[in-house]
C-alpha cells in the first residue's frame, strides 16, 4: 500500500483536534516525509483554512482562561510550548483577557480545592493554595487579594498587614520566611 501524500496525512492529523503549524510539521517529519513536501503541505493546509495558528491561539487561550482558570503568563507559556508565534499569542491574550477579571478568576481558582469552594484558612493550606495560583499564572497581587479577601473573620491579621504594607505584603512575607526557614534547616 502506498503512503499518502504529506497533505493528506496533515488533513488526517487535523481531524481529531486542532494543531499548530509547528505541531503538524513535527508529526509529518516523524513519519518520514521530506522537508520540501512538508512545507508544501503546510502552505496548502494554511491556504485552505485547515491550519490557523491565530484562531487556535484564541480558542486555546479562551479555554485555558475560562475553564482551567489560567492567568496570562501560564496561557502564554502553553501557547508558546505549542509553537504559536509571539504576536499571535499577544493578540489572543489581549482579546481573551479584555473581559475577564483576574482577581475573580484567582478567587474562583483558590476555592476549587475545597468541597465548599471556600478559600482555606489555615496557614499551610493557604500557602499551598498561593503556590498553586502562582503556577496557574496569577500575579502576586491577585493571589494576595484572593487569599486575603476570603480569609475568615473581619479584620484578620492578613487584612491589617495588607492595609499597612500594601496588597500582597502578608503573602510575600510568609513566602520569605518560609524560604529562610528552609535554608536554615538545609544548612
Structural domain boundaries in the chain:
6-47, 53-97, 102-186
Residues 163 and 169: their CA atoms lie apart, in Å, by 9
Reported pTM: 0.72
Per-residue pLDDT of the chain (187 residues; tens, 9 = 90+): 567 899 999 999 999 999 999 999 999 999 999 999 999 999 999 999 999 999 999 999 999 999 999 999 999 999 999 999 999 999 999 999 998 999 999 999 988 766 566 777 788 988 999 999 999 999 999 999 988 854 443 334 444 344 334 444 445 434 443 444 444 444 3
Amino acid at each position: 500500500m502506498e503512503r499518502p501524500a504529506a497533505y493528506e496525512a496533515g488533513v488526517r492529523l487535523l481531524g481529531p483536534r486542532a494543531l499548530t503549524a509547528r505541531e503538524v510539521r513535527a508529526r509529518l517529519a516523524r513519519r518520514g516525509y521530506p522537508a520540501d513536501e512538508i512545507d508544501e503541505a503546510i502552505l496548502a493546509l494554511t491556504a485552505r483554512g485547515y491550519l490557523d495558528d491565530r484562531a487556535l491561539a484564541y480558542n486555546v487561550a479562551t479555554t485555558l482562561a475560562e475553564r482551567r482558570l489560567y492567568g496570562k503568563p501560564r496561557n502564554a507559556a502553553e501557547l508558546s510550548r505549542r509553537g504559536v508565534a509571539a504576536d499571535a499569542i499577544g493578540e489572543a491574550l489581549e482579546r481573551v483577557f479584555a473581559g475577564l477579571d483576574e482577581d475573580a478568576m484567582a478567587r474562583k481558582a483558590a476555592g476549587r480545592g475545597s468541597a465548599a469552594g471556600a478559600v482555606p484558612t489555615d496557614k499551610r493550606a493557604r500557602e499551598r493554595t498561593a503556590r498553586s495560583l502562582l503556577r496557574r499564572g496569577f500575579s502576586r497581587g491577585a493571589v494576595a487579594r484572593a487569599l486575603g479577601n476570603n480569609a475568615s473573620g473581619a479584620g484578620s491579621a492578613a487584612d491589617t498587614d495588607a492595609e499597612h504594607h500594601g496588597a500582597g505584603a502578608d503573602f510575600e512575607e510568609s513566602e520569605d520566611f518560609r524560604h529562610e526557614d528552609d535554608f536554615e534547616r538545609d544548612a
